[in-house]
């Protein structure tokens, strides 16, 4: 099989667009790196040029390609080649010197969580007189990815529904990412949310995702443990790749991200905005029911694909449970959990759904009272 593509390079040293027709054979398509090398060669750019992913459009959505599995999912029809764009994370997310901080300005207070590559601390920001969260990541092969996450965080820091990024400390063996401290931690700790708290939280998450998508950023790790809350009643989205290794919640260690993947992604398909919509639907379901539909103790879900199939086969039953809580929430969730990507609610229509519109006037006091009550009832809650 030969995959016919038109490779585009929109960012060149000369500032002008470039494109070239390329035929990729089966051997080249085995690996992401061989495809990238072939496209760079055909476009006449240096093999060391910092392009680290590809993008194409499917059903009107931008799809990113970064892995061998995603490369092998690419197809084109009999008549038209597939248009692919070489992209660079670094071209789009340059970090300003204003965000480079000094470690002497922070005093580590206590450990909040630990993971394979580092630790999350509560720290005092001496210069500004505030408490912050510090993600300290050990330098290793993941360091380039962490650098990219810092760059993305610096770009989205002005969104009020995303955990604020204050800067980063670059050391010989660590990178420390300084973030707003959310003293209520993550929503996965709160069980079933009252419908008004759920509504306000859902609006915040949808607003955060809409902001990301407007900047062509796909979160790729949407789940309740990445929805953070504080005692002021703010609900904010966190973790843009770093959350795969460092989490405030230890729930579902090792498979926490995988179980939120949509059917097409489990089968090796490319990740698109519609994939984020599926993950959002599962997350909203958990927040309503108070628990995940998957547990490590359930022997029937030995592999992630079993869980995906379970969701598809039992969607009607799941929606009946949600409908008993709120019919508008049920409509939103069922629209997100369509097995076929282009049948899901379009990302730009999420804000138009009845449930989101009903709570669009965010009442932070509802969330603040709920969080404060939980904290007062159980001092060891978080």
Instruction: Using the structure block, give the residue that is written with the tokens 């460092």.
Output: 246
Which token pair is 146? Answer: 């962490």
Name, in order, each residue with C-beta under 8 angstroms of 40's C-beta and a sequence gap of 6 or more.
46, 47, 49, 51, 86
CB 229 within 8 A of CB 367: yes
**Dist CA 71 CA 29 (whole Å):** 6
DSSP one-letter code for 24: E
Cβ atoms 164, 181 nearer than 8 A: no
22: which residues sit within 8 A by CB, 6+ positions away? 4, 5, 6, 7, 38, 39, 42
Residue 195 CB neighbour total at 10 angstroms: 16
d(CA 186, CA 79): 49
Q: What angle do CA 210, 212, 213 make, to 5 degrees?
A: 65
Catalytic entry in 125, 221, 276, 328: 221
Residues whose CB falls within 8 Å of the CB of residue 117, separated by 6 or more in sequence, listed in order: 137, 138, 140, 142, 245, 246
Verify whether residue 221 is a known catalytic residue.
yes
Query: How does 85-115 read in b/e, with b if 16+ C-beta sit within 10 Å?
Result: bbbebeeebebeeebebeeeebeeeeebbeb
DSSP per residue over 118-178, as a string?
EEEEEEEETTTTEEEEEEEEE-STTHHHHHHHHHHHHHHTT-TTBPPEEEEEE-SSEEEEE
Structure-block tokens of residue 189: 């700790």
Q: Reduce the DSSP state of residue 27 to 3 states and report it.
A: coil
Among all residues, which ones are annotated catalytic? 221
């Amino acid at each position: 099989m030969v995959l016919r593509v038109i490779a585009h390079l929109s960012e060149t040293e000369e500032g002008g667009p470039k494109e070239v027709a390329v035929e990729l054979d089966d051997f080249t398509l085995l690996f992401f790196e061989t495809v990238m090398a072939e496209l760079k060669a055909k476009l006449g750019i240096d093999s060391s040029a910092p392009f680290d992913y590809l993008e194409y459009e499917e059903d009107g959505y931008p799809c990113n390609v970064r892995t061998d599995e995603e490369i092998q999912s690419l197809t084109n029809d009999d008549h038209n080649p597939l248009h692919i764009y070489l992209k660079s994370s670094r071209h789009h997310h340059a970090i300003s010197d204003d965000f480079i901080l000094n470690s002497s300005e922070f005093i580590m207070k206590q450990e909040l969580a630990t993971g394979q590559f580092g630790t999350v601390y509560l720290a005092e920001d001496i210069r500004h007189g505030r408490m912050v969260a510090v993600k300290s990541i050990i330098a290793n092969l993941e360091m380039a990815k962490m650098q990219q996450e810092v760059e993305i965080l610096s770009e989205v820091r002005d969104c009020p529904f995303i955990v604020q990024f204050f800067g980063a400390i670059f050391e010989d063996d660590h990178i420390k990412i300084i973030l707003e401290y959310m003293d209520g931690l993550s929503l996965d700790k709160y069980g079933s949310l009252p419908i008004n708290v759920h509504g306000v939280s859902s609006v915040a998450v949808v607003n955060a995702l809409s902001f990301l998508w407007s900047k062509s950023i796909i979160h790729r790790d949407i789940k309740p443990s990445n929805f953070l809350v504080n005692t002021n009643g703010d609900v904010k989205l966190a973790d843009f790749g770093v959350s795969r290794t460092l989490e405030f919640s230890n729930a579902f260690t090792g498979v926490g991200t995988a179980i939120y993947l949509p059917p097409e992604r489990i089968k090796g398909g490319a990740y698109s905005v519609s994939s984020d919509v599926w993950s959002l639907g599962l997350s909203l379901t958990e927040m309503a029911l108070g628990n995940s539909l998957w547990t490590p103790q359930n022997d029937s879900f030995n592999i992630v694909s079993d869980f995906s199939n379970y969701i598809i086969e039992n969607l009607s039953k799941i929606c009946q449970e949600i409908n008993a809580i709120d019919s508008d929430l049920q409509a939103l969730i069922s629209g997100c959990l369509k097995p076929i990507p282009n049948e899901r609610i379009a990302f730009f229509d999420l804000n138009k759904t009845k449930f989101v519109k009903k709570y669009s006037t965010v009442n932070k006091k509802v969330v603040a009272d709920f969080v404060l009550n939980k904290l007062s009832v159980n001092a060891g809650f978080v």
